[in-house]
Amino acid sequence: MRYITADDAPPTPLRGIADHSWHTRGLCHGMAPEDADELFFPKPRDHEAITEAKTICGRCPVKKDCFAHALDNEIRHGIWGGLTDAERRPWHAKINKRLDYSRVRAVFQGRDVHLSDAEREAVTRHAYVRGWTPERLAYVLQLDLDYARDLMRKAAHAVADRDRYWGLYGDEDKQASTCDESAGTGAGEIVSSPVPRQVHTPALITALGKAA
């Protein structure tokens, strides 16, 4: 499938990289800098400050935007969105594996949004299939041109490998709908079909060995 998958879920509003309009609606907005630093960047054992900061964040109308801002910008210190740096650590560890296709679609709609590594890879593959040049990809994603060329080269290899081996093991749709009545299965029951032995040809084994 060479098109971005669409679904019926309502679109989630995405903030652009330069959109910091949510700041002004935060309950911490307007605090004296020294007070904010003491409260939201407390010492590890300053439980009183941590509790007070979490209380403010708990009733803040933009705590989700604050939390997303810390993740998207790799902010590892301080309390953001009501979570300490230790509490956000698991989220930071997996953020680059996020694959949100609403963000991928937003890039092709001209939006400047935060992308994880997985989302950037998806954008690059779709851009390659659409015939984009590395220069255009570099401009849209604000990347170094050499880096954009490397991404496009990887996308070309990935798409070529996908097309080369797509359907190699037979028609998945036919396998999924096959009903083995001779084996006594009920109507509509799905049974697996074994992989034909002849597909494991020396040419395929050699190709896979080179790819590895």
Tell whether the model's pLDDT for residue 59 goes beyond 90: yes
Phi, psi of 80 (to 5 degrees): -130, 130
d(C-alpha 106, C-alpha 125), whole Å? 15
How would you class 2 by CB atoms within 10 Å of its CB: exposed for 0-12, middle for 13-18, buried for 19 or more?
A: exposed
pLDDT digits (tens, 9 = 90+) for 91-118: 888 887 888 888 899 899 888 888 888 8
Residues near 96 by Cβ (< 8 Å), separated by ≥ 6? 116, 117, 118
Q: Is the dihedral of CA 95, 100, 106, 108 positive or negative?
A: positive
Q: Minimum mean pLDDT among 12-16, 40-44, 58-62, 179-183: which range?
A: 179-183
pLDDT band with cut points at 50, 70 and 90 for residue 167? low
Say what the pTM is: 0.55
Cross-strand bridge partners of residue 16: 113
> What pLDDT does residue 182 have?
39
